[in-house]
């Protein structure tokens, strides 16, 4: 039976925590009873520098209940960092798999059984995918769907309608720990890990208490982070615009020259218009070239792992009788 860890980032969640703990506790106990999770399974609540009673609630419950654990971050580092700290704690505790959930339990916890079944079947990553967005406001639904499409266009591999409700096996967690980047966008990193993965579909509910900890400002920052941490296409677009305008300026130059020769142009117009277009294009082109190098530096500084070996088969070979001493 796998040792399952639930990881729950919490920021100012005093209103939901007692109920969330109750529901998750009974879920975990039923998984243990049904023989789907090991007795050593745990729930880890990460307090992301909350200003309310979140931490005192977590610590009080952890004293009474051995299945409950907590991690307190020194200050508010945001959902993604809080989640990562919880996942890395689960990895250090040698869990077999970790399931990340939001503290408001908007994501249906009844599908956890399916997550674990898929893990037992050999999946290292199981993505929770919303089967519809009917409960979202029109604004949230259209911006979110537009965003997924835009990311696809930029060549970023993210799972449509999947947020951070997912299961990761210990191998996937080890792999995740190799990604050293600071601007975290986990739903972009996880698909890069590889290994066998699958999806579980579920209905997302509304928050049962408290309000969203993701105001529009944080959401926009997160969306921009997602694009700029995974794609250098915007830089390539600058280069392409530069090339296009330079080419256009040549056409413009010919047109201006012809107008000038035919005497239909006002004096000084041809030379002005040609230089404006050409210099504009040249500047864009140069920024694009600088951007190409910046894009490479950006790729290098991330120090992402270049490959991941999933399996290795090497049949022990005979020791070589080549005499190394004869080598100069």
Q: Note whether 78 binds ligand UDP by CB under 6 A.
A: yes
Shortest distance in whole angstroms from residue 43 CB to Mg ion: 18
Q: Which does 214 bind (CB under 5 to 8 A by kind): Mg ion, ligand UDP, none?
A: ligand UDP
Instruction: Please identify, using beta-carbon distances, which residue of 65 and 212 lies nearer to ligand UDP.
Output: 212
Checking phi first, is residue 14 left (phi over 0); if not, alpha (psi -120 to 50) or beta? alpha
Looking at 142, 177, 212, 283, which residue binds ligand UDP (CB under 6 A)? 212
The nearest distance, CB 143 to Mg ion, in angstroms, is 16
104 sits near ligand UDP (criterion: CB under 6 A):
yes
Strands 42-47 and 4-10: parallel
Provide, rounded to whole angstroms, the least separation between the CB of residue 125 and ligand UDP. 20
- Angle at 192 (CA atoms; ends 187, 196), nearest 5 degrees: 100
Residue 245 binding: pick among Mg ion, ligand UDP, none (C-beta 5-8 Å cut-off by kind): none
| 3-class state of residue 60 by DSSP | helix
292 binds ligand UDP (CB under 6 A): no
Our CB check for Mg ion shows the closer of 11 and 277 to be 11
Dihedral angle of Cα 221, 226, 229, 232, to the nearest 10 degrees: -110
CB of 13 to Mg ion, least distance (A): 10
CB contact set of 59 (below 8 Å; sequence gap of 6+):
70
Structure tokens at 268: 């000084």
* CA–CA gap between residue 80 and residue 82 (Å, rounded): 5
Strands 162-169 and 125-130: antiparallel
Give the nearer residue to Mg ion in terms of CB position, either 21 or 284. 21
Whether 12 contacts 57, CB under 8 Å? no
In the DSSP assignment, the letter for residue 325 is G
Nearer residue to ligand UDP within complex by CB, 102 or 124: 102
Nearest approach in angstroms of CB 213 to Mg ion is 7
> Applying CB under 6 A, which residues contact ligand UDP?
9-11, 13, 48, 76, 78-79, 82, 102-104, 106, 212-214
């Amino acid at each position: 039976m796998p040792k399952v860890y639930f990881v729950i980032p919490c920021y100012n969640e005093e209103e939901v925590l007692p109920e969330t703990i109750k529901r998750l506790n009974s879920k975990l106990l039923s998984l243990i009873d049904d023989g789907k999770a090991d007795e050593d399974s745990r729930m880890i609540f990460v307090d992301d520098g909350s200003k309310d009673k979140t931490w005192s609630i977590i610590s009080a419950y952890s004293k009474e209940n051995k299945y409950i654990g907590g991690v307190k971050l020194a200050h508010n580092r945001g959902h993604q960092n809080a989640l990562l700290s919880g996942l890395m704690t689960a990895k250090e505790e040698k869990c077999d798999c970790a399931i990340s959930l939001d503290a408001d339990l908007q994501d249906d916890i009844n599908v956890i059984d399916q997550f674990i079944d898929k893990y037992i079947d050999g999946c290292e990553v199981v993505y929770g995918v919303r089967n519809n967005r009917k409960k979202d406001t029109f604004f949230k639904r259209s911006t979110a769907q537009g965003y997924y499409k835009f990311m696809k266009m930029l060549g970023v591999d993210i799972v449509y309608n999947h947020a951070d409700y997912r299961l990761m096996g210990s191998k996937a967690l080890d792999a995740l720990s190799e990604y050293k980047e600071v601007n975290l966008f986990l739903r972009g990193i996880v698909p890069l890990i590889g290994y066998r993965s699958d999806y579980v579909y579920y209905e997302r509910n509304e928050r049962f208490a408290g309000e969203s900890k993701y105001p529009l400002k944080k959401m926009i920052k997160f969306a921009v982070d997602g694009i700029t941490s995974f794609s250098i296409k915007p830089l390539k677009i600058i280069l392409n615009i530069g090339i296009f305008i330079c080419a256009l300026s040549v056409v413009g130059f010919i047109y201006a020259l012809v107008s000038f020769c035919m005497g239909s142009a006002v004096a000084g117009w041809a030379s002005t218009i040609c230089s404006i277009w050409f210099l504009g294009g040249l500047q864009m082109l140069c920024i694009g070239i600088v951007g190409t190098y910046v894009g490479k530096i950006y790729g290098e500084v991330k120090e992402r792992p270049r490959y991941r070996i999933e399996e290795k088969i090497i049949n022990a070979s005979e020791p070589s009788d080549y005499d190394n001493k004869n080598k100069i």
